[in-house]
Chain A
Amino acid sequence: MTIEIDNVELYIKNRIVLNGIYLKAETGFVTGVLGRNGCGKTSLLSILFGSLSSKYSLIRIDGRPIVNPLYQTNRISFLPQHGLLPKHITLKKAFQLLKVNWKEFETHFETFLPLYQHKVASLSGGEQRVVETYLILKSKKDIVLLDEPFSHIAPLYIEKIKQLIAIEKNRKIIILTDHFYHDVIEVSDTLYLLHNGQSKLIKNIIDLENYHYLKSGTWT
């Protein structure tokens, strides 16, 4: 399965944020999106998900244009940058609602074992992030969008999440963005950079320096 987003034009308070975006992602490959703060990474994922309307955008799945917001098709899940889960529900309820297996989660994250009946609000920010990232990654959807999945998470958990991404990509389209560019580069098969509102397909990591995303000499 492939998903393409094209001709995106997004204005926020008369400021052009995205203009001239093309991004293609497919099952079996992780697509990473890099870019400076405020370049429109989150907006791009939100447009794809359908929670943000842009002036123009064309989304195609396997070449067929999608008219309605993608989330209404129940084929996509989105991990937003800021807290996903309502604070008042328990982890048990969250796993039930998103139809994800808790037992399997326990095998990956044993320290969460006593937290099954706990409310989301009682978890630390990092713990919430681990649970949210896992839930979205493991949800029974074809397309997974991850906005900053590595932020606020301990290094050991980051490694586990990267392993899970590598497993899940075999049956899902995964598009992710984060400022932890080392992790994004490591886990991604295809890399895009958002620069001046446009998307650039990165074929050589050195291009990240050429576009001034990374300081000159970072990779050389």
Chain B
Amino acid sequence: MTLNIILLYTYPSIPLAITTKLFLTLLIWFFMKETTAKKSLIFYKNLGLSNLKLFSALFLMDAILSTLVLIVMQEFL
């Protein structure tokens, strides 16, 4: 959300917002894969969710929400 606000005031572009979200998702994925935080992913694997599915779903939800927020806020700017 903080990122959405920053983008809104600096450069309110939807492609830029989505690219930034993609970069952040990949960064979190890499961080979780390379540290002990990967243990927390076992719960989702027990639900049958692979890392790819989990992070893709997170990115999609984030991208959709960010796009909606940016579209709505651009109307007021």
Q: Is A185 an interface residue (CB 8 A)?
A: no
Stretch at the interface among B10-18, B39-47, B55-63, B67-75: B39-47
Alpha-carbon separation in the docked complex, A83 to B46 (Å): 13
Inter-chain contact B46/A71, CB cutoff 8 Å = yes
Partner among B39, B40, B50 whose Cβ is within 8 Å of the Cβ of A69: B50
Residues of A within 8 A of B46 (CB): 71, 77-78, 84, 98, 136, 139
Inter-chain contact B39/A72, CB cutoff 8 Å = no
Q: Which secondary structure dominates chain A's binding surface?
A: loop
Q: Is A28 an interface residue (CB 8 A)?
A: no
What is the interface size of chain A, counting residues whose CB is below 8 A from a CB of the partner? 20
Q: Name the residue in B39, B42, B48, B50 with the highest tally of chain A Cβ atoms < 10 Å from its Cβ.
A: B42
Residues of A within 8 A of B42 (CB): 49, 51, 78, 80, 84
Q: Is A15 an interface residue (CB 8 A)?
A: no
Min CB gap B33→A, angstroms: 11
Closest to B48 in A: A74
Alpha-carbon separation in the docked complex, A103 to B42 (Å): 25
Min CB gap B68→A, angstroms: 24
**Given A69-B50, A72-B50, also A51-B43 (CB < 8 A):** no
Partner among B41, B43, B50 whose Cβ is within 8 Å of the Cβ of A85: B43
Inter-chain contact A98/B48, CB cutoff 8 Å = no
Inter-chain contact B45/A51, CB cutoff 8 Å = yes
Alpha-carbon separation in the docked complex, A206 to B58 (Å): 52
Q: Is A182 an interface residue (CB 8 A)?
A: no
Min CB gap A68→B, angstroms: 9
Q: Name the residue in B40, B45, B46, B47 with the highest tally of chain A Cβ atoms < 10 Å from its Cβ.
A: B46
Residues of A within 8 A of B39 (CB): 80, 82-83
Alpha-carbon separation in the docked complex, A74 to B50 (Å): 11
- Residues of chain B having any CB pair with chain A under 8 Å: 39-43, 45-48, 50
Could you list 16 A-B pairs, sorted by A, with CB under 8 Å?
A: A49-B45, A50-B45, A51-B41, A51-B45, A69-B50, A71-B45, A72-B48, A74-B48, A82-B39, A84-B42, A84-B43, A84-B46, A86-B40, A86-B43, A98-B47, A139-B46
